[in-house]
């Protein structure tokens, strides 16, 4: 059965299946259809075969031709996903005896760079809460500590007063796998935390003992989602339009340290990464920032 780009009943039946059995949207079906029609053209013009006559070698040749043509790994990964779905359908229908895509590995996709904030954005965000109110003072202190220490949001909302040493200026953090690390706060965060603990925290706690550093309702630790909403609120007040999450300040902490010359292994220890390769992605962020500054300010950038 010969399938061409102009007459492809098999591709049409497969796309209909995607809609009927999997509820695929029109956008998905259009994208997958383009992928298969492009592959069908390659089959006919480069291999002299139809879709059902293609083997693993020919599929690999097709992927290599895409790479040579400058197509991105992400684009080729989607094209390969289209081929996987199509040939699995053909196998179920008994149209082929062997799936030519089964043993082909997906292209390695580059890790996306963490979303970060400029130092000016961070200053605007930190200055947004109204510190004349107990809630604003609490949120300002949380933001200061999150940025100063590069904490994960879970580490921040679950922080207890007993983990804070104001005299030494460090926070004892229990990260993933209950791994303990000591993180310096810096003078600014230390001052905000001291003011908050002495004057504001008692106003937020109901009667009774509690070791929760940043209480939410009824003195219980704040939920991660609640703090995420608080950050979104203060980002709006600060006029920051880029997408934000509690993890964004952790990324900013690491990126700004590296931009100012910090050693990668020091940043690894502060973040609590067990593997240096996890931290190395921040060098890409710093590099991207330096390249942008070079393009903007260098006469031959």
Does residue 229 have an active-site annotation? no
Catalytic residue among 138, 140, 250, 251: 250
From the list 71, 115, 224, 247, the catalytic residue is 247
Strands 164-165 vs 180-184: parallel, antiparallel or unpaired: unpaired
Q: Identify the active-site residue in 22, 176, 220, 242.
A: 176
User: Does the annotation count 196 as an active-site position?
Assistant: no
Sign of CA dihedral 217, 220, 225, 227: positive
Catalytic residue, from 152, 201, 251, 256: name it.
152
152 has catalytic annotation = yes
Where do we find the tokens 């492009």? 38
- The phi, psi pair for 28, rounded to 5°, reads -65, -45
273 is catalytic: yes
298 given a catalytic annotation: no
66 noted as active-site residue: no
For 169, the token pair is 């200026």
Place of tokens 């339009």: 241
Residue 230 tokens, joined: 């608080």
Q: Per DSSP, what are the bridge partners of residue 174? A: 180
Residue with tokens 């383009």: 34
Name 181's bridge partners: 173
Task: Please answer whether residues 219 and 250 qualify as being in contact, where contact means their C-beta atoms are separated by less than 8 angstroms.
Answer: no
Active site positions, annotated: 152, 176, 247, 250, 273, 282
């Amino acid at each position: 059965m010969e399938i061409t780009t102009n007459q492809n009943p098999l591709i049409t039946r497969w796309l209909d299946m995607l809609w009927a059995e999997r509820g695929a949207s029109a956008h998905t079906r259009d994208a997958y259809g383009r992928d298969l029609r492009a592959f069908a053209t390659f089959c006919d013009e480069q291999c002299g075969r139809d879709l059902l006559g293609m083997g693993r070698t020919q599929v690999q040749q097709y992927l290599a031709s895409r790479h040579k043509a400058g197509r991105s790994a992400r684009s080729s990964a989607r094209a390969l996903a289209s081929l996987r779905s199509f040939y699995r359908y053909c196998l179920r229908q008994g149209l082929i005896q062997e799936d030519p895509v089964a043993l082909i590995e997906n292209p390695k996709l580059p890790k996306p760079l963490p979303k970060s904030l400029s130092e000016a954005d961070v200053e605007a965000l930190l200055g947004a809460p109204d510190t004349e109110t107990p809630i604003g003072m609490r949120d300002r202190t949380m933001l200061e500590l999150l940025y100063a220490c590069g904490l994960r949001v879970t580490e921040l909302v679950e922080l207890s007063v007993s983990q804070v040493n104001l005299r030494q200026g460090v926070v004892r953090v229990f990260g993933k796998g209950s791994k303990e690390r000591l993180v310096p706060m810096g003078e600014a965060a230390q001052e905000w935390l001291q003011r908050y603990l002495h004057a504001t925290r008692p106003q937020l706690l109901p009667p009774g003992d509690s070791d929760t550093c940043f209480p939410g309702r009824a003195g219980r630790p704040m939920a991660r989602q609640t703090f995420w909403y608080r950050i979104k609120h203060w980002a709006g007040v600060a006029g920051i339009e880029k997408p934000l999450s509690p993890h964004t300040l952790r990324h900013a902490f690491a990126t700004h340290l590296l931009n100012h010359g910090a050693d990668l292994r020091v940043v690894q220890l502060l973040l609590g990464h067990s593997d240096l390769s996890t931290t190395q992605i921040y060098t890409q962020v710093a590099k991207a920032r330096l390249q942008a500054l070079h393009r903007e300010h260098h006469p031959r950038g």
